[in-house]
Amino acid sequence: MKLLIFLTFLVSLTMPKDKIEEGNPITLQRIEVNDLVFNCRTSGLNNTKEGVILLHGFPETSHMWNELIPILAKKGYKVVAPNQRGYNPGSLPREVSEYELKKLCEDILAIGDYYGFERFHLVGHDWGSSVGWALAGLNPDRLLSWSALSVPHLKAFMEAYKTDKEQKKKSRYIGFFKLPYLPEWYFSFNNYSKLIDLWSESSDEQIDIYLEIFSKKRVLKSALNWYRANVGKITPEVSSQLGDVYVPTLLLWGKNDAAIGRKGVEGTDKYMRGPYELMELDAGHWLIQEAFHDVSKAIVNHIETYSLHPEN
């Protein structure tokens, strides 16, 4: 009996932290879709409510959702948070064109299919938000609700990016990120110190988990390829479908966001044809870390409002 207890203790020490969350454990799963391998954090897959897919941005991973996942699972939802294309050793295409927005959207639909989500709720931050806006335009029939963190409607953002003085200033980094080789060197130099600086709102544990991913060969280049493949290069076919949005939408924006200005946020309203709510927060870009209570409450309320099985 003592040996059994000791062995159980040893196993607990070696388990990933995600798996020992109390109440609603988070399981790390590796799945293959679109001839690529994705690592996903999942919880509540045997629950009775609909699926919820959570999309991270740059430079983060699905770990950014670790506190939200158990809350949604406890509410009865099936929750999946993938490391997106370019953030897994098994999904690192070499060609820049492989990171075009349409292909990023196809990944999420395929992940939804893998888990049996005919329709699902979608939540995204930063680049994950960009993918979400594209899905809301390209495949609205698949979405029950859409919650965007930080990034406004893509057309509203691009209009601000081209014409608004504040947004132009906030977006100066994008030109640097699109350069070949140099941004990879910049972020990896001196043990990734500049990358670590971006994670100023993350815990030491989260920074270690992020570094474990970004220090792997070709991950940083692949993540930056999202900028190279899409900014100023969205195809006419996709652009024509990024207009009116009928999916019930929540936009959360921090008024102190260093990357996203007010112009694009306020310009989002003109594209909304379905239920739409804008929530402005006294926070910066890293909303889930800076204002978790308000952000998680708003996301859960939005999903519950448009759930097929809302709480009584």
DSSP state of 116: T
- What pLDDT does 232 receive? 80
Give which of 277, 274, 250, 307 is closest to 51, Cα–Cα.
307
For tokens 């070949």, name the residue: 180
pLDDT tens per residue across span 263-278: 999 999 999 999 999 9
CA 287 remoteness from chain centre? 12
- Report the DSSP pairing between strands 36-43 and 78-82: antiparallel
d(CA 309, CA 51): 11
Contact 305, 248 (CB under 8 A): yes
User: What per-residue confidence (pLDDT) applies to 23?
Assistant: 64
Distances in whole angstroms, Cα of residue 122 to Cα of each of 49, 61, 130, 140, 221: 14, 16, 12, 11, 26
Tell me the CA end-to-end span of the chain in Å, nearest whole number: 46
pTM (two decimals): 0.92
Q: At what angle do helices 127-138 and 101-114 cross, to 10 degrees?
A: 80
Please name the helix (run of DSSP H) or strand (run of DSSP E) that holds residue 55, with its range, or none. strand 51-55
SS3 202: coil
Q: Are 72 and 300 in contact (CB under 8 A)?
A: yes
Tens digits of pLDDT across the chain (312 residues): 433 333 333 333 333 444 434 567 999 999 999 999 999 999 999 999 999 999 999 999 999 999 999 999 999 999 999 999 999 999 999 999 999 999 999 999 999 999 999 999 999 999 999 999 999 999 999 999 999 999 999 999 999 999 999 999 999 999 999 999 999 999 999 999 999 999 999 999 999 999 999 999 999 999 999 999 998 876 666 777 788 999 999 999 999 999 999 999 999 999 999 999 999 999 999 999 999 999 999 999 999 999 998 774
Contact 291, 297 (CB under 8 A): no
Question: Of 295, 296, 299, nearest to 281 (Cα)?
Answer: 295
Tell how strand 27-33 and strand 36-43 pair up. Answer: antiparallel
Q: Which long-range contacts (CB under 8 A, 24 or more apart) does 177-184 make?
A: 177/224, 177/227, 177/228, 178/227, 178/228, 178/231, 183/224, 184/220, 184/221, 184/224
Q: Is 140 in contact with 241 (CB distance < 8 Å)?
A: no
Any idea of the CA torsion for 148, 149, 150, 154, to the nearest 10 degrees?
-20
CATH number of 18-305: 3.40.50.970, 3.40.50.300, 3.40.50.720, 3.40.50.1820? 3.40.50.1820
Which pLDDT score, from 0 to 100, does residue 24 have? 77
Identity at 224, one-letter amino acid code: L
Q: What is the pLDDT of residue 241?
A: 75
Map out the domains of the chain as residue ranges: 18-305
- Residue 180 contacts by C-beta under 8 Å, 6 or more apart in sequence? none
CA distance 215 to 250: 34
